[in-house]
Amino acid sequence: MLRAKAGGKIILRRKAIIVSIDGLGDRPLHELGGLTPLEAATTHTFDILAGEGMVGLVDPYAPGVPCGTDVGHLCMLGYDTKEVYSGRGPIEALGAGFEIFPGDVAFRCNFATIDHNGIVRDRRAGRIREGVAELAAILNNITLNNNVIANFAPATEHRAVLVLRGAGLSPLVSDSDPGGKNEGMPIQPIRPLDESEAALKTAEALQQFLAIARGLLNQHPINLKRIMSGQLPANAILTRSGGIATKCIPLQERFNGIRCAAVSGEATVQAIAKMAGMQIVTHPGITGSYDFNGQLKASFAIELLNDNDLVLVHVKATDLAGHDGKWDSKKSIIEQIDNMVAVIKAKIPPDTLIAITADHSTPCEVGEHSGDPVPVVIWGKGVRADKQLAYGETSCSAGGLGRITGKDFFHILIDLMGFSQKLGA
């Protein structure tokens, strides 16, 4: 807690940690006696936070609407995704290290193998890894018609990102990728998806880029070598998930100079943190996988709190377990995260707030993201404690926070921290 001066007035300020447990929300499971993995897990620390704090249910975007990790995290950070999100491309571009600017249109790409007649033989070019950086380099910085510049960078394995930069572009163009289950289908021509000049111009630029790419890839020594050794050549680019980069106002600018940081081992959340202008900590020891190392994440979070007001700690493993339908694994990961939060709670400065939340539900019975709301707890000084004693989907449904949106959740936390802005006088 500190009493900061703002506009000549002394105001009460508190720091906070948000623990974002990816895909945490779940549904009652027969195998767990009708409980969810969170309810079945032994979570002493979560329950202390719930008992002393206030709980509720959060619909990251809106009730019944499932979110991706990108949209879910943007919502939980108070962003209006209708304003700042039009597709996955720009998120991937940020993850691939691009600096992108409002108006840039970005696409997720695969290196793929196509036959001479344009039929997709392998959407992942034999899951190519070696030589991808070199192949991507020859596709980077190509000037297309109408002064559109194509920039291209590798992502993980056979994946890559394309960014088109120029005046008056649109993300509303179709995919060249025929889709996951359609090997044997022809590579798709790019069509504008509305009547605008921008969509037409973008479709033409993308089509031109894809033709140039095929020419350059076809004769590249890496591909010739792959063919000689019986491997599939990476002789075409498939594009999908086009999105336009928008002006995304950093949290610091939106909320009275608040300084924010994120600890995450996952590229998507790192990209969202970048969009929000947060300091990002990565380390080989913290991953976006099952071996996430909660103790190391806790240490980084505590350290970051020295120079930041708000620190987001993200754990991906619960979502992976939900996708895999592994309820037992999800339960034990939740217990590990409870231990991580115990360390955080023990080491944070006095008066620091803790919020536990999630970007969406990933119920084990579904194996995919669902629109079920996520359980949330906010704990610390100034919080109006409710009567709930446990952190779980059912107890949170009767909590003092009620049922709110992701944006509401963030605004409530920011207000408790003393960084909100009064409306009116």
Place of tokens 């217990």: 335
- Cα dihedral value 26, 76, 291, 293, nearest 10: -120
Looking at the Cβ atoms of 27 and 121, the one nearer to a copy of itself is 27
Told to check if 418 binds a copy of itself by CB under 8 A, we report yes
Looking at 250-405, list the stretches that DSSP marks H as alpha helix, in order from N- to C-terminal side: 251-254, 267-275, 294-304, 317-323, 327-347, 393-396
Told to check if 380 binds a copy of itself by CB under 8 A, we report no
φ, ψ (nearest 5 deg) of residue 357: -155, -170
Looking at the Cβ atoms of 36 and 176, the one nearer to a copy of itself is 36
Q: Sign of dihedral through CA atoms 224, 230, 231, 235?
A: positive
Are residues 399 and 51 in contact, defined by beta-carbon separation less than 8 angstroms?
A: no
Kindly state the smallest distance separating residue 279's Cβ from a copy of itself, in Å. Answer: 23
Told to check if 7 binds a copy of itself by CB under 8 A, we report yes
Give the list of residues 6+ apart from residue 221 with CB closer than 8 angstroms, or none.
none
Judged by CB under 8 A, the number of residues near a copy of itself is 72
Q: Sign of dihedral through CA atoms 47, 49, 50, 55?
A: negative
Q: Which two structure tokens, joined as six digits, stand for 361?
A: 């539900």
Residue window 17-36: x/- pattern of binding to a copy of itself, with contact defined by CB under 8 A: ----------xx-----x-x
Nearest to 271, CA basis, from 292, 255, 248: 248
Looking at the Cβ atoms of 272 and 301, the one nearer to a copy of itself is 272
Told to check if 382 binds a copy of itself by CB under 8 A, we report yes
Of 58-77, binders to a copy of itself (CB under 8 A) are 61-72, 74
Looking at the Cβ atoms of 109 and 298, the one nearer to a copy of itself is 109
Residue window 208-247: x/- pattern of binding to a copy of itself, with contact defined by CB under 8 A: ---------------------------------x------
Told to check if 88 binds a copy of itself by CB under 8 A, we report yes
Kindly state the smallest distance separating residue 61's Cβ from a copy of itself, in Å. Answer: 6
Told to check if 357 binds a copy of itself by CB under 8 A, we report no
3-state secondary structure of 235: coil
Kindly state the smallest distance separating residue 147's Cβ from a copy of itself, in Å. Answer: 27
Nearest to 341, CA basis, from 322, 355, 351: 355
Give the list of residues 6+ apart from residue 175 with CB closer than 8 angstroms, or none.
188, 238, 239, 240, 241, 242
Kindly state the smallest distance separating residue 87's Cβ from a copy of itself, in Å. Answer: 8
Place of tokens 């680019």: 237
Told to check if 423 binds a copy of itself by CB under 8 A, we report yes
Structure letter (DSSP) for residue 190: P
Kindly state the smallest distance separating residue 173's Cβ from a copy of itself, in Å. Answer: 17
Kindly state the smallest distance separating residue 185's Cβ from a copy of itself, in Å. Answer: 12
Looking at the Cβ atoms of 284 and 424, the one nearer to a copy of itself is 424
Looking at the Cβ atoms of 142 and 366, the one nearer to a copy of itself is 366
Place of tokens 């289950």: 181
Residue window 169-208: x/- pattern of binding to a copy of itself, with contact defined by CB under 8 A: ----------xxx---------------------------
Told to check if 162 binds a copy of itself by CB under 8 A, we report no
List Cα–Cα distances, 305 to 144, 159, 278, in angstroms.
46, 35, 13
Told to check if 57 binds a copy of itself by CB under 8 A, we report yes
